[in-house]
Structure 1
């Protein structure tokens, strides 16, 4: 069963996603990032400019050929079901990702924005109602310690 984790109170969704992806790629994990198309385009730009000293190899599922998809440690996809990786799925979007259950881990990234938090509560309920154990990581609590 997919391990579900919510990362709450993220001050900068794209910056946090870049740090999360750097950590995952550094550990050898294969990651799919999903969300709305405009958010994925912004993340693509952020991944190119995130660090002057390192590059996070990534591709778009919609435009990459099968060999590039298989070799890329980070795949940006509005439809994660159609990707070759099944290890980690990072959801930056507002909806429950289609096909999330085929991944070992799902990470939901939630900002401090009220609308984003409300949509996250709906996703939390969706997972909980289906029996998924959910881990909660509150970044605001970590800042205070």
Structure 2
């Protein structure tokens, strides 16, 4: 089963996802970002390009011809873990959907970022319950103090 990390209290869920992805990308880890909401995925794509003037995080859609050479993949389809790049670290899943990502158990680790919005918190509680019932290892982190 996967380790599922919930980061609760994010001031801005998508911006914090950008920060998390930058941290892991710089550490050499590949990531798959999932949401079935194609509009949210497009917003996140634009945000990832411009959330920081000095950051560059190469990313493409998972079905792009360059996906095999790109560390961060975005998908609205069932996420599939790619092979690690050049014998590197196993890719992790970043779930930006309000539901559990299909096939989460195929990933070593799943990152869930939760804002303070009531709808987001309620959806996260349901995902927590489902992951727990699925036998995953759950971990909670309070990120409300981060800018």
Q: How many aligned residue pairs are there?
A: 139
What runs of 5+ residues in structure 2 fail to find an aligned partner? 84-89
* Corresponding residue for residue 10 of structure 1: 10
What runs of 5+ residues in structure 1 fail to find an aligned partner? none
* Corresponding residue for residue 96 of structure 1: 100
Q: Secondary structure at the match of 1:81?
A: coil
- RMSD of aligned Cα (Å): 1.6
Q: CA contact under 8 A between 1:80 and 1:100: conserved in structure 2?
A: no
Q: CA contact under 8 A between 1:32 and 1:80: conserved in structure 2?
A: no
Q: Tell me the distance in 2 between the aligned counterparts of 1:133 and 1:122.
A: 15
Q: Secondary structure at the match of 2:56?
A: coil
TM-score, length-normalised on structure 2?
A: 0.88
| CA spacing shift, 1:81–1:54, aligned 2, 3 Å | closer
Q: Tell me the distance in 2 between the aligned counterparts of 1:20 and 1:100.
A: 18
Q: Secondary structure at the match of 2:79?
A: helix
* Corresponding residue for residue 117 of structure 1: 121
Q: Tell me the distance in 2 between the aligned counterparts of 1:77 and 1:70.
A: 14
The structure with the greater share of residues assigned to helix is 1
Q: Tell me the distance in 2 between the aligned counterparts of 1:81 and 1:54.
A: 25
TM-score, length-normalised on structure 1?
A: 0.89
Q: Tell me the distance in 1 between the aligned counterparts of 2:39 and 2:118.
A: 20
The structure with the greater share of residues assigned to strand is 2
Residue 81 of structure 1: how far off its partner (Å): 3.1
| CA spacing shift, 1:7–1:91, aligned 2, 3 Å | same
User: Which one of 65, 71, 74 corresponds to residue 72 of structure 2?
Assistant: 74
